Amino acid sequence: MTALRSIEQSLPISLLRAREAVMARFRPLITGYGLTEQQWRVIRALAEADELSATQLAEICCILHPSLTRIFRTLENKKLIKRRRSRGDGRVVSVSLTEQGRVLFEEIAPQSEKLYRQLEAELGRDEIDRLLTALNRLRNI
Amino acid sequence: MTALRSIEQSLPISLLRAREAVMARFRPLITGYGLTEQQWRVIRALAEADELSATQLAEICCILHPSLTRIFRTLENKKLIKRRRSRGDGRVVSVSLTEQGRVLFEEIAPQSEKLYRQLEAELGRDEIDRLLTALNRLRNI
DNA sequence: TATTGTTATACTCTATAACTATA
DNA sequence: TATAGTTATAGAGTATAACAATA
């Protein structure tokens, strides 16, 4: 008898539920600015790295290439990002924030950070650090 | 200056990536049986609880009501679940697995459990237990 | 009146394959 | 030939509001 473990003990489902609980706090902020979660991940990655290729963004943001292409188009229409061909390799698209995109990021970031701080206050900094370490280890299995 | 923490330190993104890494192992099994992740969560919850209302399933599986209604229809067409009105409360729909649904679950479950065991062997049972505890705590914040 | 579930609607993402351009 | 990105296409989930039936 090899019964499946209970849902409480399922890693994928526990990860999903935990993420939902956390996102319930951040989602209103993001959607309030007319952004989807995925679009915000892209903006945030670009704010941190200045310039990334589509392949790098797909890896960092956990978004498939065709979805990314559409997100690029949407964010480009909103004038939040810009695309250009890489000088070194003509196949590569180099994506970066526009000035307007940077301004939007700077407006949202401190509010997001405030929500993180509240979370830390409730769960404890150590608990969150341990969790992040475990999650990043899991990511590289 | 309240700069946003790095992506590596972002709980929502770390949760997402960790989940992706884990699901990369389980997804082929589930899709190989023509099921989506969400459909499998519903089947699995029903296998564990025998009978659940739509509201209970929405809570357990992290799926919104309108999505659930469509999933019910799909799984009903495949004759994997059955719906009936609750005797006690006529508003409530009581969902359960059909015999065929149970058979499918019993076929997938041991293969899923085998993948879990591989994960445990790589990460360590204690590490996973600690992670599950932390995730379930996070869920209830 | 409140609750349970369904329907309607619009949007977005997922996933796979095929295609274009460049290396 | 291989790689980077786009396009095409089908399918599914997300999210909100409105609705029907029941309590």
Evaluate if residue A42 carries a pLDDT over 70.
yes
Q: Does B2 lie at the interface with A, CB-CB under 8 angstroms? A: yes
Q: Does B13 lie at the interface with A, CB-CB under 8 angstroms? A: yes
The tally of domains found in chain A comes to 1
Q: In chain B, whose CA is at the least distance from the CA of A14?
A: B135
Evaluate if residue B99 carries a pLDDT over 70.
yes
Residue-level pLDDT at A4: 85
Residue B34 lies in a domain: yes
Average pLDDT, integer, range A21-27: 92
Residue-level pLDDT at A34: 92
Mean model confidence pLDDT for chain A: 93
Q: Which nucleotides of C are covered by protein (CB under 7 A)?
A: 3-9, 12-17, 21-23
Residue B123 lies in a domain: yes
Evaluate if residue B57 carries a pLDDT over 90.
yes
Residue with tokens 């992740």: B37
Residue A95 lies in a domain: yes
Residue B42 lies in a domain: yes
Residue A2 lies in a domain: no
Evaluate if residue B4 carries a pLDDT over 90.
no
Evaluate if residue A126 carries a pLDDT over 90.
yes
The C1' atom of C7 and the CA atom of B28 lie apart, in whole Å, by 33
Residue A126 lies in a domain: yes
Contacts 24+ apart (CB under 8 A), A48-55: A48/B6, A48/B7, A50/A96, A50/A97, A51/A94, A51/A95, A51/A96, A52/A94, A52/A95, A52/A96, A53/A86, A53/A92, A53/A93, A53/A94, A53/A95, A54/A92, A54/A93, A54/A95, A55/A92
Residue-level pLDDT at B108: 94
Cα B120 from Cα A7, distance rounded (Å): 16
Q: Domain range for residue B90?
A: 11-139
Residue B35 lies in a domain: yes
Residue A4 lies in a domain: no
Evaluate if residue A1 carries a pLDDT over 60.
no
Check whether residue A53 has its CB closer than 7 Å to nucleic acid strand C.
no
Chain segment B101-132, per-residue pLDDT in tens: 999 999 999 999 999 999 999 999 999 999 99
Residue A82 maps to which CATH number?
A: 1.10.10.10
